[in-house]
Amino acid sequence: MTDGVNIIKGYLRNLPGKPGVYRMMDAREKILYVGKAKSLKARVSSYTNLAGLPYRIARMVNETRSMEFVTTHTEVEALLLEANMIKRLKPVYNILLRDDKSFPYILIDTTHPAPQVKKHRGAKNREGYYFGPFASVQAVNHSLHILQKAFLLRTCSDSVYNARTRPCLLYQIKRCAGPCVNKIPLSDYKKLVQSAHDFLSGKSQTIKQSLTLKMEKASHEKAYESAAIYRDRLKALAAVQSRQDTAQGHVQEADIIAGFQQGGQSCIQVFFFRAGQNWGNKAYFPRHHKDQGMVDILPAFISQFYDNKPPPRLILINSPLSQAALLEEALSIKAKHKVKISLPRRGNKFNLVCMVEKNAREALARHLAEKSSQKKLLEALAGKFNLESPPDRIEIYDNSHISGTSAIGAMVVSGPDGFDRGSYRKFNIKSPDITPGDDYGMMREVMTRRFKRQLKEDPDRKGQTWPDLLIIDGGKGQLSVVQQVMCDLGLEDIPLVAIAKGPDRNAGREDFYLPNLAPFKLPVNDPALYFLQRLRDEAHRFAISSHRQQRAKKMHKSILDDLPGIGPSRKKALLLHFGSAKAVESAALSDLEAVGGISRILAKNIYDYFHEND
C-alpha cells in the first residue's frame, strides 16, 4: 500500500491549509472518493498514516494514483460542493444516496387572469405559488382532487381555457367554477384561489369556519342548492383533515428523517409535513460500507438529499449527527432562511420521530426479504445456465421499430437489488447499411457500440459495469449475431442466453438458446422462468417506450428544422408567409426573397436545399 501513500505525500508539499474539496482517483482516473476538509493539508495528511485507518480506507489509499483539489472560502461552501460532486460523480467509497429524483409540487399559476392549479416538477421558474414537496404523484393527484371539490379551481391548460365556448364536464359535476365561460366573475374566482392558497398554507380551520357560516346563511335564506355546494366543499376538507395523524405533534412545516440499520444495510425514511398536514413519505436505501454507522450515514444523506430540494425550517432526526452545526449553517445558506436540525428526546415530536423510525424498520425488513428472494433467483439462474456464480449484473437487450422506422435498441440492467434503472441505455440505430426491419443488423450494431465503448473506458475489465450474463430477446439467429460480435471483440467469456417466444407467443413455453447447446425449455411453474420473463418483459417495455418517444419526436419534426441558417424566428416568418412547410419547399426563388428577414443569399440557400437534385 506504500504506492498510494507516497502519491498522497507528493501532493502534501503544495497543499494549503484552507477549506476545500478533494478527489481521489485510481489508475484509470475513476473517482474513488470525494471529501471535504476545513484544512486540506491536515485532512489529506491523515491518509498517510495507514496504521490508524480502517481497512476499507486503507484499501482506498492503496488504489489511489492521483488527486484533485478545489479550495473554497469556508467549510460550509466545501460541504455544499462535496454533496454536489458526490451526487454527480458517484464515487465508489462514498455513502451514496440512490434514486434521488425531484419531488412534485402543486402550483397555483398566477400568470393567467383565472389562475390554474396543477402538478409541477423541476425548476420554479413560473410565476405563482408553490406548495410541497409531495412524496409522490399520487399524493399530488389526491390533493388536486380535494382542491377541485373544495375550491372549484380549474385544472385545464390555458389553450383549452381560451378555446372553451361552453362548460366542460368538470363544471357539470361541480369540480370547477367555470370561469372560462363566465359562470363565475373573475373577482369571485380569485377569492376561491385565495381560499385554496390559505388552505395549502395551513389555514384550514379558518376556511372551514368561513364555509360553515356561508352554508348556514344559504340554508336560512332557503338557497338550498348553494347550501349543498358549501356542504360538499366542507366534506372534501373534512376528508383531508381525517387523513392526518392526530399525534403529529403540532408540526406545521418539517421533514422528519429517521434511519434504521440491520444486516449491514440501512433504510432512511423521510416524511414531509407542510401546512400541518402529512404530504407523504418515501424510503431510501443509501449505498455505504457495512461498518459505517448512522452517525456518518445520516449527515451524508441529508447533505445530498437537499442538494436539489429546498430544506424546510425544521428537520427532525432520530440519531446524533457528526458536524450538525456545520450542516445547519450550510442548509440555512442554501434555503436563505434559518434551518434547525433537532433530535427530540420526549413529547409529541419524539413520538412522531419514533413513528417514522418504525416505518424505516419495516421498510428495511421488506427490502431485505426482497433481496433474499432475489438472491435465491440469481442462484437458481446460475444453476440453469451453468454460471460459475450468481450474476451481479445482468444485461437484457431488445429492439423495437415499425417497418424499420424509428429503430431503437434497448438495454436494461438487473442485479441483486432488482432493476437498476439508472444503468438503462437506449441506442438509436444509425447505420445506413442496415435494411429497414433487419433485426440481426440492429442487434449487431447495438452490441458492437455497447462493448466497443466499454472496452475503451475499461480495457482491463476491472470495473463494475461489465455484465456477468447477457440475455437477448430472440432466437438462434440473434444469439449467433451476438456470439460473432463478442468473438470479434475478444469477449467470448461473457455468458450468453437468448429467449425465443414459445408457440403462438405463449408465455411459459419459451425456448432458451445457449452457445453450443440444443435449445431447451424450463418447467412451467419454475420460479426462475417467471424471473426471466420479468427481465425480458422489462426490456420489451423499455424498448417500446423509447421507440414511441422517438416516433413522437419525428411526428412533430418539420422539414424546415434542418434548413441551414434558419432559426425559430425565420421559420415562423416563412410559415406565416407561405402557410405551410410544403409550400416553402415548392416556392420559387423570387418568392423566398420576398419574405421579411430572408436575405437574397439565404433565399438561395433555402431554394438550393430543396432543389439540390434538379
**Cα–Cα distances in Å, from 547 out to 226, 251, 297, 398?**
51, 46, 40, 11
3-state secondary structure 214-245: HHHHHHHCCCHHHHHHHHHHHHHHHHHHHHCC
Using an 8 Å Cβ cutoff, are 258 and 318 in contact? yes
Using an 8 Å Cβ cutoff, are 285 and 297 in contact? no
Tell me the torsion sign for CA atoms 472, 494, 420, 373. Answer: positive
Looking at residue 341, its pLDDT comes to 92
Using an 8 Å Cβ cutoff, are 283 and 268 in contact? yes
Please return the burial class of 568, using the count of CB atoms within 10 Å of its CB with bins 0-12, 13-18 and 19+: exposed
CA 83 – CA 326 distance, rounded (Å): 13
> For residue 599, how far is the Cα from the chain centroid?
45
> For residue 312, how far is the Cα from the chain centroid?
21
Using an 8 Å Cβ cutoff, are 584 and 563 in contact? no
Which portions of the chain are predicted below pLDDT 50? 242-247, 614
- Name all domains of the chain by residue range, CATH numbers in brackets: 2-89 (3.40.1440.10), 105-243 (no CATH), 254-366 (3.30.420.340), 394-554 (3.30.420.340), 568-610 (1.10.150.20)
Q: Which residues of 270-285 are buried (b: 16+ CB within 10 A; e: fewer)?
A: bbbbbebbbbbbbbbb
What is the DSSP pairing of strand 105-109 with strand 128-131? Answer: antiparallel
Say whether pTM exceeds 0.75.
no
Tell me how crowded residue 543 is: count the other CB atoms within 10 A of its CB.
Answer: 24
Cell 412451467 sits at which residue? 524
List the 265-274 sheet strands across, edge first.
277-284, 265-274, 254-262, 314-317, 340-342
CA 48 – CA 169 distance, rounded (Å): 72
Of 277, 288, 284, 235, the closest CA to residue 258 belongs to: 284
Cell 439565404 sits at which residue? 602
**Cα–Cα distances in Å, from 601 out to 235, 571, 572?**
68, 16, 19
Looking at residue 307, its pLDDT comes to 84
Of 499, 494, 474, 505, the closest CA to residue 409 belongs to: 474
Of 211, 227, 244, 71, the closest CA to residue 142 belongs to: 244
Looking at residue 69, its pLDDT comes to 92
Looking at residue 242, its pLDDT comes to 47
Element (H, E) at 78: helix 75-89
What is the DSSP pairing of strand 418-419 with strand 394-402? Answer: unpaired
Q: For residue 220, what is its C-alpha cell?
A: 336560512
CA 603 – CA 614 distance, rounded (Å): 17
CA 442 – CA 75 distance, rounded (Å): 52
Looking at residue 244, its pLDDT comes to 47
Cell 478527489 sits at which residue? 23
> For residue 90, how far is the Cα from the chain centroid?
15
CA 357 – CA 267 distance, rounded (Å): 9
Tell me the torsion sign for CA atoms 343, 345, 349, 355. Answer: positive
CA 123 – CA 105 distance, rounded (Å): 11
Residues in the chain: 614
What phi, psi does 305 have (nearest 5°)? -60, -40
In a 13 Å sphere around the CA of 152, the CA atoms on its Cβ side amount to 24
Tens-digit pLDDT profile for residues 379-437: 988 988 988 899 999 999 998 876 556 688 899 999 888 888 888 998 988 777 777 77
In sequence order, the β-bridge partners of residue 271 are 256, 281
Radius of gyration of the chain from its Cα atoms, rounded to whole angstroms: 30
In a 13 Å sphere around the CA of 200, the CA atoms on its Cβ side amount to 25
Helices (H), 268-343: 294-305, 324-335
